[in-house]
């Protein structure tokens, strides 16, 4: 058993492993597998297999530089999407207690208490003072 353990340690040493893009690929793979289990499309089955092989190839790769570049490109696209989705669900969750407004100077989204009238607000990001009507 120790020979096998030592072989595994040697085999996985220096490998890239998982990152944010890898987690996205795994989630996409799982969603497509469930979708394929319901509808049984051959094309989706081929796509899921390609995603699985690509994920394994990335995890077992020793080229850390290229895999980290792929991950950075993915994060450059994913972060704005993630921010917009989070803001959408926050607007729904806090719709009774808060209002969301943009700063006129830096365009940051501010979560303000739901008090009717005109208020002066200081942006925490750019520290500018501006008026908001709720």
Domain spans in the chain, listed from the N-terminal domain onward:
15-93, 103-134
Contacts 24+ apart (CB under 8 A), 49-58: 51/25, 54/25, 55/22, 55/25, 55/26, 55/29, 58/16, 58/21, 58/22, 58/25
pLDDT tens for 69-121 read 999 999 999 999 999 999 999 999 998 888 888 888 888 888 888 888 888 88
pLDDT tens for 45-58 read 999 999 999 999 99
pLDDT confidence of 129, banded at 50, 70, 90?
Answer: confident
Query: Can you give the pTM of this predicted structure?
Result: 0.74
């Amino acid at each position: 058993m120790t020979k096998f353990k030592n072989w595994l340690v040697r085999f996985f040493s220096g490998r890239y492993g998982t990152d944010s893009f890898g987690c996205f690929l795994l989630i996409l793979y799982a969603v497509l597998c469930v979708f394929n289990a319901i509808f049984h499309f051959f094309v989706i089955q081929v796509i899921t297999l390609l995603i699985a092989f690509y994920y394994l190839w990335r995890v077992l790769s020793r080229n850390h530089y290229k895999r980290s570049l792929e991950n950075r490109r993915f994060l450059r696209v994913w972060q704005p999407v993630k921010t917009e989705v989070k803001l959408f669900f926050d607007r729904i969750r806090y719709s009774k207690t808060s209002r969301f407004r943009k700063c006129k100077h830096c365009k940051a989204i501010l979560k303000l208490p739901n008090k009717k009238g005109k208020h002066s607000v200081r942006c925490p990001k750019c520290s500018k003072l501006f008026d908001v009507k709720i």
